[in-house]
Amino acid sequence: MTRLAEGGALIDRTKPVSFKFDGKTYQGFAGDTLASAMLANGVKLVGRSYKYHRPRGVVTSGPEEPNALVNLGSGPTHEPNVRMTQVPLFEGLEATSQNRFPSLNADIGVLNALASKLYPAGFYYKTFIHPRVAWKHLFEPVIRNIAGLGRAPSEADPDTYEHQYAFCDVLIAGGGAAGLLAARKAGEAGARVMLVEQTERLGGRMLVDDDAEIDGKSAVAWVAEQVIALEAMDNVTIRLNTCASAAYDHGYTMLYERRTDDRKGTGPRHRLWRVRTKQIIAATGMIERPIAFYGNDVPGVMLASAVRDYVKLWGVAPGRNTVVYTVGDDGYRTALSLHAAGHKLSAVLDVREDPVGMLVEQVRGAGIKVMPATGIGKVIGGKAGVTAIKTVSFATGKDDAPLDDSIPCDCVAMAGGWSPVVHLYSHSGGKVLWDAKLAMYRPDANFRPTDGSGEGFVHAAGGANGELQTQAVLKSAAEAASGALSSIGMTTDTSAPTVAAVAEQPMQPTWFTPTQGKASYGGKHFLDYQNDVTVADIRLAAREGYESVEHAKRYTTLGMATDQGKLSNINGHAILADALGKAMPEVGTTTFRPPYTPISMGSIAGREKGILFKPVRETVMHNWHAAQNAEFEPVGDWRRPYRYQQGNEAREPSIHREIARVREAVGLLDASTLGKIIVKGPDAGKFLNMMYTNMMSTLKPGKCRYGLMCNDNGFLMDDGVVARLDEDTFLCHTTSGGSDRVHAWMEEWLQTEWFDLKVYTANVTEQWAQFAVAGPNARKLLERFEGDTDLSGDALPFMGFTDGVLDGLPVRIFRISFSGELSFEIATPTSYGPALWEALMSKGEDLGVGPYGTEALHVLRAEKGFIVVGDETDGTVTPHDVGMSWAVSKKKEDFIGKRAMMRSDLTREGRKQLVGLLTTNPRRVLPDGAHAMSADGTRAIGHVTSTYYSPTLKRSIAMALIEDGQSMMGQTLTIGIDANSAAKAVVSSPVFYDEEGARQNV
């Protein structure tokens, strides 16, 4: 056990918690993270790296953790790639290690490491290129087996997740000293403030690095005072366990809140917040950097700040005997905290030649050996952890340097300097500047992310702004608050509390530590722990010409793991700069992309799953269809009956039964989904002349006309029957999926091009139920209704319509047909739909009435050669291509599509034209989309657009678009079926049944 006898601000020693890791039971305390509890149990090995399967331990204490990723939970609550450093310990927690087989201790993937010479940087690039066959059959299967970290869950997550919306004036990301002061100032100025903090505690590094006094109080006491003040303000909302994941355009901010990771709480487990804020203060702090030295990935090598976090926050000393390796004063804080906890420190290694100052003197005064100009030349140890280090002197000035005696230790604390968390500042366009003295990228106040009025809306404060000293942190927070408030017309002063702190000496940026012999090429100097990218990989990338930082990143995969290079990017870019002989700013930095840390898939989905994933439109007859055992199919957002199943009837017999009913008796089709748009006004006819290829202005009231709609490329986009209700009013039917699109299309032209026309439109699709009554008995059925509407062919001829009454129900009856049979389409206000339908069913029983679905409809229309927009057309087909030149007016001066149809490509020879295909084997139904071959078999000359078995004709029929097809009547074509077979079919007219139209015109 490495739990200290006392201390640990966050743990409650009266509340023991038991949990399991890889099946073994351990004990921790309430307040622990999974990482602190594992360290407290002396477990160093917690994972295997991605590429080489090297043994890895916990490196950090926060969200930047690259190594300690585990599977959390099991079965439906299983979640992969969870950072142990962010998992609050709870009773019964179960975690398993990842990326190992068969077990963490005996992982055979470590063979990759032995073969690491075969996996240099660019391995994937080079392997992907050639030979391709090897990729498919050799490399990919092998890589798939060994690659990947966590395992995806296989069951649906039972928890709920939700999206929340919020608005505020100032959003403050980060609850450390800077965030607290900024929140206090903004809150006191009266702004609506949201303060979010990714951990469960406020205070940030002040809770650990408490050697400064603020306004005469201890840092911890000052933090407590701010929290009390903020909690008392109604206009300030504090959210813990909430990460400001992203700042998008115009101040749109995304927060990720983890509420009940123990899955025991009530309400949603995670929330994704969408916040509209006027201003953002990024008080997101800093992340400490590792140092590149030989063996810096052995379990037990940790960030120095994390080591003291574990000591002070969780009462855990990760080592009994620690070596600190530092580039500045900050590492000495770790030495002092371990010393205060009664632990041994073998040495503090400092890269600087002459470390001086108060922190250094305190360490020396404690009797701890300080070794100037010295680094770690080599770490000795393995999966059980660090056992010793060998030191190296920077004085040699060489990469290949002799190593000195070893120092026994079980923990290495590395303090490589700090990098401001500039992510939130950078997500929507803020720029960063390289500060050579502090070796960090800092936000450039001249290039802030800007909002809709072009003003900067993100202000960096404290550590995120590159401030290392508490006084400067608070000063910058006060200035950020003042800047944010003045942008929204509020004010605060820029005064900050007075800080008494130890003076610190400058750090010395150090990107590489020499070692002896061949190892100095850097193959065991790890930069990116998660993706196993080393100094050697970056140097190789530079040598092979990947000089751009973005190229080197992709070549080596530096920073491309789930931690997105939080620990590795700056170090890697510095190695690249060195290898290229360039300065850091010349090399540049990669793009910071949201989200800051991975967010759960559940939070992205929110409640939008299952039936809430996408709304479905149902007609007023939907329940009736369902009760008749309808099989539904999606048509646009609608669900329409595809066929009605009787008993265990297979699909084809039921469809054939429905077709025969329409051809021989009378069938009912629920056509309510057809789009219905009213176009009204003195200029309605003029307008529709532009919208349709046909002449609509000459249509007489009481008559219908089938119309085609094209776009200005001359291609068909919709079709339907237009009825003129009166001089000023037209009713335009559209395809079932097209009503919203066509309505929007009409409005676009009316509002943006012909705004001088006096026309209104209204989409009345859902106001009407509409049924097709089709078949030779259709008129007989309707004549059984009470009412004085004359339905005779003389009074209501084909393509006429009339308003009327059927058994007291108000109806509009259209003589239109999509089946080729005698057909009436009857529209009635939606609420009367069921009454009308039931009446049609009951009055026609002896006439053989019954419903038919969309598949029967499609066969019926294909027998008649009627096109369906979307089947016979694909966005490149003109009315002429489908043999409908008759519907394109030659008289109109202009219409949408007219000019385009004169373009050379639309008038050339060899365009595909609609024809029928009759297979030589009448039972052979062609596959939809099958290609017709040219005579010499060298190329495709067209494709099948609709294909069915026609029970009416007792043979296969198909429509196809074939190059110059109209001139190929009677020729036999070869149609490819699959790689090894083909069918023969004769080109015919696409109208297979009742070519004269005698059946519908009675």
Partner 1 sequence: MLLIHCPCCGVEAEETEFAAGGEAHIHRPGPDCSDAEWATYLFDRKNPRGVHLERWRHAFGCGKWFHMARHTYTLEVYGVYQADELTPPQAILDRIAERTSA
In DSSP terms, 537 is beta-bridged to: none
Residues in Cβ contact with 711 at an 8 Å cutoff, skipping those fewer than 6 apart: 717, 896, 897
Rounded to a whole number of angstroms, the minimum distance from the CB of residue 463 to partner 1 is: 27
Hey, how many other C-beta atoms are within 10 angstroms of the C-beta on 744?
Answer: 11
CA count, 13 A, side-chain hemisphere, 781: 32
Question: Residue 447 or 949: which CB sits closer to partner 1?
Answer: 447
Question: 3-state class of 488 per DSSP?
Answer: coil
The least CB distance from residue 893 to partner 1, in Å, is: 7
Binding segment toward partner 1, per CB under 8 A, in 11-19, 56-64, 380-388, 893-901: 893-901
- Closest to partner 1 by CB, 197 vs 451, is 451
Residue whose CB is less far from partner 1, 445 or 835? 445
Q: Tally Cβ neighbours within 10 Å of residue 470.
A: 26
User: Does 609 help bind partner 1 (rule: CB under 8 A)?
Assistant: no
Contact region with partner 1 (CB under 8 A), list: 190-198, 249-257, 301-309, 793-801? 249-257
CB of 844 to partner 1, least distance (A): 42
Q: Which of 15, 217, 369, 903 binds partner 1 (CB under 8 A)?
A: 903
| Residue 891 makes contact with partner 1 by CB under 8 A | no
Interface pick for partner 1 out of 130, 755, 908, 937 (rule CB under 8 A): 755
752 vs 938, beta carbon nearer partner 1: 752
Of residues 124, 252, 706, 949, which one binds partner 1 by CB under 8 A? 252
Candidate residues 25, 752, 792, 938; the one interacting with partner 1 per rule CB under 8 A: 752
Which of 293-301, 489-497, 891-899, 931-939 is the region at the interface with partner 1 (rule: CB under 8 A)? 891-899
> Comparing C-alpha atoms, which of 771, 765, 767, 766 is closest to residue 838?
771
Residue of 674, 774, 812 whose CA lies nearest to 732: 674
99 torsion bin: left (phi>0), alpha (psi -120 to 50), beta (else): left
- Kindly tell me which of 758 and 899 has the beta carbon lying closer to partner 1: 899
Site membership for partner 1, residue 663 (CB under 8 A): no
Distance CA 908, CA 910 (A): 6
Smallest gap from Cβ 894 to partner 1, in A, equals 5
* Whether 384 contacts 300, CB under 8 Å: no
CB of 711 vs partner 1, minimal distance in Å: 10
Question: CB 972 → partner 1: shortest distance, Å?
Answer: 38
By three-state DSSP, how is residue 371 classified? strand
> In 3-state terms, what secondary structure has residue 198?
coil
Per-residue x/- marks for partner 1, 270-289, CB under 8 A?
A: ------x-------------
Site for partner 1 contains 747 (CB under 8 A): yes
DSSP letter (8 states) at residue 135:
I
Structure tokens at 447: 């290039």
The count of chain residues that interact with partner 1, using the rule CB under 8 A, is 29
Give yes or no for residue 904 binding partner 1 (CB under 8 A). yes
Q: Is 842 exposed, middle or buried (0-12, 13-18, 19+ CB in 10 A)?
A: exposed
Using alpha carbons, select from 659, 657, 635, 639 the residue that is nearest to residue 647: 657
- C-beta of 43 vs 275, nearer to partner 1: 275
Cβ proximity to partner 1: between 334 and 763 the closer is 763
Among 136, 151, 217, 250, binds partner 1 (CB under 8 A): 250
Nearer to partner 1, 14 or 752 (CB): 752
Per-residue contact string for residues 372-411; x = within reach of partner 1 by CB under 8 A: ----------------------------------------
Span of 353-361, 383-391, 751-759, 986-994 interacting with partner 1 by CB under 8 A:
751-759
Is residue 712 within the footprint of partner 1 (CB under 8 A)?
A: yes
How many helices (H) and strands (E) are present in the chain, helices listed first? 25, 50
Strands 193-196 and 161-173: parallel
Q: Closer to partner 1 by CB, 755 or 886: give it.
A: 755
Q: Does 607 bind partner 1 (CB under 8 A)?
A: no
**Least distance in Å: CB of 585 to partner 1?**
22
In the complex with partner 1, the residue whose CB is nearer, 151 or 250, is: 250
Residue ranges with strand state E in 283-343: 286-288, 301-303, 321-326
Which of residues 15, 217, 369, 899 is near partner 1 by CB under 8 A? 899
Strand, coil or helix: 13: strand
Rounded Cα distance, 713 and 704, in Å: 27
- Tell which residue, 914, 919, 977, has the closest CA to residue 949: 919
**753 touches partner 1 by CB under 8 A:** yes
Number of other residues whose CB lies within 10 A of the CB of residue 893:
8
Nearest to 45 by CA among 70, 74, 28: 70
Which long-range contacts does 340-348 make (Cβ < 8 Å, 24+ apart)? Answer: 341/4, 341/7, 341/311, 341/317, 342/4, 343/317, 343/319, 344/320, 345/321, 346/321, 346/322, 346/407, 346/408, 346/409, 347/323, 347/371, 347/391, 347/407, 348/323, 348/324
Q: What is the three-class DSSP state of 879?
A: coil
Span from 752-760, 848-856, 947-955, 986-994 in contact with partner 1 (CB under 8 A): 752-760
The partner residues of 771 in beta bridges, in order of sequence, read 670, 826
Q: Which letter does DSSP use for residue 85 in this model? A: G
Place of tokens 């209704």: 785
Contact stretch for partner 1 (CB under 8 A) within 242-250, 379-387, 403-411, 716-724: 242-250
Q: Is 312 helix (H, G, I), strand (E, B) or coil?
A: helix
| Smaller CB separation from partner 1, 450 or 729 | 450
In the region spanning residues 464 to 483, those forming contacts with partner 1, defined by CB under 8 A, are: none
Nearer to partner 1, 713 or 966 (CB): 713
Q: Closest distance between partner 1 and the C-beta of residue 251, in Å? A: 7
Task: Closer to partner 1 by CB, 744 or 805: give it.
Answer: 744
- Nearer of residues 124 and 447 to partner 1, judged by Cβ: 447
| Binder among 402, 429, 606, 800 for partner 1 (CB under 8 A) | 429
Which residue among 6, 788, 794, 894 contacts partner 1 (CB under 8 A)?
A: 894
Binder to partner 1 among 251, 385, 595, 951 (CB under 8 A)? 251
Pick from 453, 450, 465: nearest CA to 248: 450
Cβ nearer to partner 1, comparing 25 with 904: 904
Scanning residues 929 to 958, which ones bind partner 1 (CB under 8 A)?
A: none
Site string for partner 1, 725-744 (x = CB under 8 A): -------------------x
d(CA 431, CA 422): 9
Interacting residues with partner 1 between 437 and 456 (CB under 8 A): 450-454
H-type alpha helices, 503-548? 535-543
| Closest C-alpha to 721, from 866, 562, 859, 580 | 866
966: nearest Cα among 933, 990, 939: 990
Nearest CB to partner 1, comparing residues 455 and 995: 455
Residues 313-352 touching partner 1, rule: CB under 8 A, are: none
How far apart are CB 752 and partner 1 at their closest, in Å? Answer: 5
248 binds partner 1 (CB under 8 A): yes
Out of 354, 893, 978, 996, the only residue in the binding site for partner 1 (CB under 8 A) is: 893
CA separation, residue 414 to residues 126, 341, 343, 417, 531 (Å): 35, 19, 17, 9, 20
What does the binding site for partner 1 look like in residue numbers (CB under 8 A)?
248-252, 276, 429, 450-454, 712-713, 744, 747-748, 751-753, 755, 893-894, 898-900, 902-904
